[in-house]
Structure 1
Amino acid sequence: MAPHFFNRLFKRKKKGPKEPRFTLQEWSPNAIGIWDSTCEINGDRFNRWKLPIQAKQRHRSPVSRQKSPQQQSPLFRLPAEIRRLIYLELMGGRRLHIRYFWRKPSLKPRSEPRWHWWHIVCDHSDGFIDDPVEDICSILGGEGYMHTPRPKIGSVEWLRCCQIGYEEALEVLYETNVFVMDEAIDTPFLISRILAPCCACLMTFMDISFVVGFWGPGQAEEDWMATYYAFFGLFEKSFRSVLRLRVLLRMPPCEAQELFYSDEKGKTFLKPWERLLEGREWTRLQLCVPFNWHDWFQEIKGSMPELARLELVSTSWSDHSGSPADLAWSI
């Protein structure tokens, strides 16, 4: 009896189920964080299969909390215009590559896999790059590149100084920077879930790119179509203040074949842009496609007068390696 008793008493907990052998890549239409089923309120940031998100916060009235005028500070005795110039110098007017991703353990001691924020200041200006292939930050934006030292936004600690400083600097941070989201289709969805609504609603400039695969009909086709339309829904719900947007579609040129060139497919693809154009006064709305898809898109766009304000441009980007099966999509 005694040996069995001690075996039960000191019996170790069984390990959890092993992770699946496959990995849902960030560029999959079913990547973690895109759909509600893969998110968990107040979840564990060490669980790669559930994106940890916060519960919806109750909106607070701007007058619900007393503000200190901070008149004892020389900074806050300056005119608001001067303070804004200081914030711009510290953390505004830049082009930022951002990601929220599952980071694998590094070589550092006590390094654990977890969900992790990452950003760098781009080597280019704060505008759109004429051809995205020239953006070396995007080309080298893999996970290995994320672990190398790169310029960051400085002085963000200022956001903790006081309520007035937080509100003034936060506006500059999100309104004046171009937020670049490279390759992974999941990034815009993750940002909309992780950022507080008051921050997401301040963002005005975005440069987004993601991989698109063209394959035959099937489950993958349905997944891509649902994700594609959900992507446009983000700008109605979360990114309502974005007025300058570029979307780069990374379509493998090796798949640019005549069987995909049809008016029906092209109009189905471009239809969501019509609703996006109607929703706000865009300063710039740009769709960027690989060079050998450009003529087809231009022809379809010309048959849709409601898309006249949509700027269509081409890029020399190419990928001759083909696309994996989980990129499958046909329209």
Structure 2
Amino acid sequence: MAPHFFNKLFRKKKAPKEPRFTLKECSPNAIGIWDSTCEINGDIFNRWKLPIQPEQRPRSPGARQKSSQQQSPLFRLPAETRRLIYLQLMGDRRVHIRYFWRKPSPKPHSEPRWRWWHAVCEHSGGFIDDHVEDICSISGREGYMHIPRHKIGGVEWLRCCQIGYEEALEVLYGTNVFVMNEAMDTPFLISRILAPRCASLITSMDISFVVGFWVPGQAEEDWMATYYAFFGLVEKSFRGVLRLRVLLQMPPCEAQELFYTHEKGKVFLKPWASLLEGRKWARLQLCVPYNWRDWFQEIKGSMPELARLELVSTSWADHSLAPADLAWST
């Protein structure tokens, strides 16, 4: 009886059974987008549930009494000078970010788990004219996450004291351009993992994700529901964003000509109108492949409420994507 008892007691917990298909991060049903795929205080080793923290009430920055830190030579400097130091250390950069499920790396004792990843862009310090020129655009792919890349330095400073934390936090989130490549789930994951205050400090986002127009059905409905949810996410969680660029990565226009309709285009552009009304944008840009621009421009021209939306084209194209590949992979 005893051996059997101890075998049961110390038996390793089985990992959740993986489904036959693996959800791609570009899928509208990727883990972390919808509440049903998240778990409060969940296991970082569970691929099929995003571990999130309980909803937190935002704290007032001045809620706690704080020291003036006048014994420190740094804090005796003018605030403007300290800000220049923070900018040099951790601000004014273009930063690729992901929160993702990482498979075991070649390193010893590496375990699969949910984790952060970021890299400072090697091409630019801010917005760029065309994503195809961004040599870091492949950085979001997991294979490249194992390659050492330049990181933001000095974030340990956020732990030094309350004044240092508050001053540097605004620089870190408020002056960098946060780039989210390819995966449709990234903005949702970032909003769930970051503290609400940090998310609200972000001012510049450069986002791209795969999109496809399908024959009407469940796949198209899922994608459109997630697409509309993205705009609600920007309005609710990223209230400080004043510069937003969204790149739509689409299959070749030639493969999708049958699905072009004026009505579908208006439905696609409609959520931009409410986004335009919600705040004073410094830059709000929709970037589409060059062979889609005329179609989008025609529909945009019929919607006066979108006059302030900047529509640009990119030479980006991915001829490897077909509509059926956008949601699932074997």
Deviating above 6 A after TM superposition, structure 1's stretches of 4 or more consecutive aligned residues are none
Do the aligned residues in 1 keep the contact of 2:213 with 2:323 (CA within 8 Å)?
Answer: no
Structure 2 CA distance for aligned equivalents of residues 16 and 201 of structure 1: 35
User: 1:237-274 CA distances to partner (integer Å, 9 max, x unpaired)?
Assistant: 10001000000000111555432222111101000000
Residue type at the aligned position of 1:223: D
Structure 1 CA distance for aligned equivalents of residues 164 and 131 of structure 2: 35
Q: Which residue of 2 aligns with 1:243?
A: 242
Is 2:222 the partner of 1:223? Answer: yes
Q: Which residue of 2 aligns with 1:136?
A: 135
Q: With the length of structure 2 as denominator, give the TM-score of the two structures.
A: 0.94
SS in 1 for 2:32: coil
SS in 2 for 1:11: helix
Is 2:136 the partner of 1:127? Answer: no
Q: How does 1:58-73 map to 2 (within 5 A)?
A: 58-73=57-72
Q: Which residue of 1 aligns with 2:4?
A: 8
SS in 1 for 2:51: strand
Following superposition, the deviation at residue 95 of structure 1 comes to 0.2
Q: Which residue of 2 aligns with 1:102?
A: 101
Range with greater deviation from structure 2 (251-260 or 98-107): 251-260
Following superposition, the deviation at residue 16 of structure 1 comes to 4.5
Q: Which residue of 2 aligns with 1:117?
A: 116
User: 1:275-317 CA distances to partner (integer Å, 9 max, x unpaired)?
Assistant: 0000000011100001111110010001111101101011111
Is 2:193 the partner of 1:197? Answer: no
Following superposition, the deviation at residue 42 of structure 1 comes to 0.8
Structure 1 CA distance for aligned equivalents of residues 142 and 79 of structure 2: 40
Do the aligned residues in 2 keep the contact of 1:133 with 1:139 (CA within 8 Å)?
Answer: no
The change in CA–CA distance for 1:257 and 1:153 in structure 2 (over 3 A counts) is same
Do the aligned residues in 1 keep the contact of 2:140 with 2:180 (CA within 8 Å)?
Answer: no
The change in CA–CA distance for 1:15 and 1:124 in structure 2 (over 3 A counts) is closer
Q: With the length of structure 1 as denominator, give the TM-score of the two structures.
A: 0.94
Do the aligned residues in 2 keep the contact of 1:214 with 1:255 (CA within 8 Å)?
Answer: no
Do the aligned residues in 1 keep the contact of 2:16 with 2:48 (CA within 8 Å)?
Answer: no
Do the aligned residues in 1 keep the contact of 2:95 with 2:119 (CA within 8 Å)?
Answer: yes
The change in CA–CA distance for 1:24 and 1:10 in structure 2 (over 3 A counts) is same
Following superposition, the deviation at residue 128 of structure 1 comes to 1.7
SS in 2 for 1:270: helix
Percent identity of the aligned residues? 82
Residue type at the aligned position of 2:42: G
Residue type at the aligned position of 1:167: E
Structure 2: gaps spanning 5 or more residues: none
SS in 1 for 2:23: coil
Do the aligned residues in 2 keep the contact of 1:220 with 1:327 (CA within 8 Å)?
Answer: no
Q: How does 1:268-279 map to 2 (within 5 A)?
A: 268-279=267-278
Structure 2 CA distance for aligned equivalents of residues 16 and 257 of structure 1: 40
The change in CA–CA distance for 1:106 and 1:266 in structure 2 (over 3 A counts) is same
Following superposition, the deviation at residue 321 of structure 1 comes to 1.6
Do the aligned residues in 1 keep the contact of 2:199 with 2:237 (CA within 8 Å)?
Answer: yes
Structure 1: gaps spanning 5 or more residues: none
Following superposition, the deviation at residue 326 of structure 1 comes to 5.1
Residue type at the aligned position of 1:36: D
SS in 1 for 2:284: strand
Is 2:161 the partner of 1:165? Answer: no
